[in-house]
Amino acid sequence: MRSLVSFLLLLLAAVAQAVSSSGERLLVILDDVAEKAGYSKFFGDLEARGFKITYETPKSETLNLFKLGEREYDHLIFLPTKVKGLGPSLTPNVLVQFINAEGNILVALSSKNPAPTSIVSTLLELDIHLPPDRSGLVVDHFNYDVTSAAEKHDVVLLPAPGPLRADVQDLFSPAAPNGELLAFPSGVGQTLGSGSLLAPVLRAPSTAYSYDPKEQAEMVDDLFAAGSQLSLVTTFQARNSARVSVVGSADMLSDKWFDAKVKKHGSKASVATLNRDFAKRVSGWTFGETGVLRVNWVEHHLNEEGQSNQSNPEIYRIKNDVTYSISLSEYVWDAWTPFTVPEKDALQLEFSMLSPFHRLPLKPVTTSSDSTTYSASFKLPDQHGIFNFKVNHKRPFYSNVEEKATVSVRHFAHDEWPRSFVISGAWPWISGIGATIVGWLGFVAIWLYSKPAQSAEIKKTR
């Protein structure tokens, strides 16, 4: 059965043409379709990776994200627009519904155009906060491009982000062998709430801050946020693994900054930007090309000698020795690969009723070309009831894995209990019972066979 499931999954993967694990239909919302020429390399990279792109404006009468209750598109990209409202087809309620339907969204902001109210309200639902004016400018007087922003200092230069966590590898970390930098021009910073579903990818340097250039042209008194409080690129992954990314600078995705040469303040030489590689990684994660985990199969069975080797039985007995196994794959750009749990992380199995009775690490046992099997063996507790084998793996930048198998755990049957003489703790009781029986039989024998003594009066009468 397991081999049949693996074969069907491989067949489906071979038939699928889309590079994304969640679909190929991509909708781009922008002010004018002609504006796509400024992002030709970004959209060209997406088309080369297998996406079918549709361009629409907020004023389009035919625009609709759903048809007959189903998604018309798998992914959305919002570029900066001059309109304040995006129309009835792109209200916050519709966008949240799109996320609930496992659709992915990439939002690109710009300090030149205030974000539409629909975008602001939707981001607030995700606990992502924009400046009150919706177009706050991020500047840095120490880390800026002296060529293009010698006066405003609004082109912030940052090093390539390293691994965001020890267990995330390099999903967002482009290689920079020659000291290349990321250019963040005319960008909008965000502040984040404390929600566990949020994860910043790129934070502002400690010397950067966000302000409103229209109201505070000469002096900055009241800052929206500064330093690491500002997230320049933010990701959000819903509980259904739908993804939302907010790129604070739409110019990061433009042709101009894909191939630009920048020179940091205080540096002698110009270097190329990493924007193109970084844009590929952010869009790839958002649209389900990286960090996607798949459960191929789950199996649990008895591993005791003389017992049936039936897979996934519905009932076990207390104190049974069982083995649980799960096969996982990770989607990386265009293929399913074996999923490897980082050293500082753990994949855990819970065997629980109302609360866990066991919480055990799952260890890799076998690896194939497209999957890794993790397994754990343990003894069931001395407690009958309804239990769950549960794997609940939730990590930043990886899709959620939630697998639960419900089984019944029964008591020993009447013919499964061991005999008393096998249990060493029963020996004193058995000895006491034996002593009582022997003593009683001895007493009865003495009482029956002992002749009573005759009295003296009886002898005289004779």
pLDDT at 116 over 60: yes
Give the residue from 400, 296, 393 showing the smallest Cα distance to 13: 296
Q: How far apart are CA 130 and CA 16, in angstroms?
A: 39
Q: How far apart are CA 359 and CA 348, in angstroms?
A: 7
Q: How far apart are CA 351 and CA 37, in angstroms?
A: 55
Tell me the β-bridge partners of 145: 264
DSSP-assigned letter for residue 278: H
pLDDT of residue 177: 66
Q: 75-78 and 225-226: which strand pairing?
A: unpaired
pLDDT at 369 over 60: yes
pLDDT of residue 219: 57
Report if residue 159 sits inside a domain: yes
- Cα 168–Cα 155–Cα 53 angle in degrees, nearest 5: 60
Question: Do residues 230 and 203 lie in contact, with contact meaning Cβ atoms separated by under 8 Å?
Answer: yes
Report if residue 233 sits inside a domain: yes
pLDDT of residue 13: 45
Which structure tokens are listed for 161? 């982000």
Alpha helices in 34-82, H assignment, sequence order? 40-48
pLDDT at 417 over 80: no
Q: 329 falls in which pLDDT band (50, 70, 90)?
A: very high
Q: CB-based contacts of 413: which residues, under 8 Å, 6+ apart?
A: 317
Give the residue from 278, 277, 273, 269 showing the smallest Cα distance to 259: 273
DSSP for 244-298, please give it.
EEEES-GGGGSHHHHS-EE-BTT-SS-EEB-HHHHHHHHHHHHTTSSSEEEEEEE
Q: 47 falls in which pLDDT band (50, 70, 90)?
A: very high
pLDDT at 83 over 50: yes
Mean pLDDT of the chain: 87
Which structure tokens are listed for 354? 């109302």
Average pLDDT of the segment spanning 127-138: 86
Q: 248 falls in which pLDDT band (50, 70, 90)?
A: very high
Q: 254 falls in which pLDDT band (50, 70, 90)?
A: very high
Average pLDDT of the segment spanning 18-30: 86
**What does pTM read for this prediction?**
0.84
pLDDT digits (tens, 9 = 90+) for 138-177: 999 999 999 888 888 999 999 877 654 444 446 777 766 6
The proportion of the chain whose per-residue pLDDT surpasses 90, expressed as a percent, equals: 62
pLDDT of residue 17: 47
Report if residue 265 sits inside a domain: yes
Residues 78 and 227 in one domain: yes
Which structure tokens are listed for 156? 């912030």
pLDDT of residue 306: 56
* CB-neighbour burial class of residue 441 (10 A; exposed 0-12, middle 13-18, buried 19+): exposed
Residues 128 and 43 in one domain: yes
Question: Do residues 284 and 75 lie in contact, with contact meaning Cβ atoms separated by under 8 Å?
Answer: no
Residues 25 and 142 in one domain: yes
pLDDT of residue 307: 57
What 3-state DSSP class applies to 70? strand
Question: Do residues 330 and 338 lie in contact, with contact meaning Cβ atoms separated by under 8 Å?
Answer: yes
Report if residue 421 sits inside a domain: no
| Higher per-residue pLDDT: 455 or 321 | 321
Q: 5 falls in which pLDDT band (50, 70, 90)?
A: very low
> What's 308's domain CATH number?
2.60.40.10
Q: How far apart are CA 340 and CA 330, in angstroms?
A: 8
Residues 274 and 329 in one domain: no
pLDDT of residue 308: 57
What is the number of domains present in the chain?
2
pLDDT of residue 426: 84
pLDDT at 374 over 60: yes
Residue 394 belongs to domain spanning: 292-410
Report if residue 204 sits inside a domain: yes
Report if residue 7 sits inside a domain: no
Q: CB-based contacts of 81: which residues, under 8 Å, 6+ apart?
A: 29, 30, 31, 58, 113, 116
Give the distance from CA 21 to its chain's centroid: 15
Q: 448 falls in which pLDDT band (50, 70, 90)?
A: confident
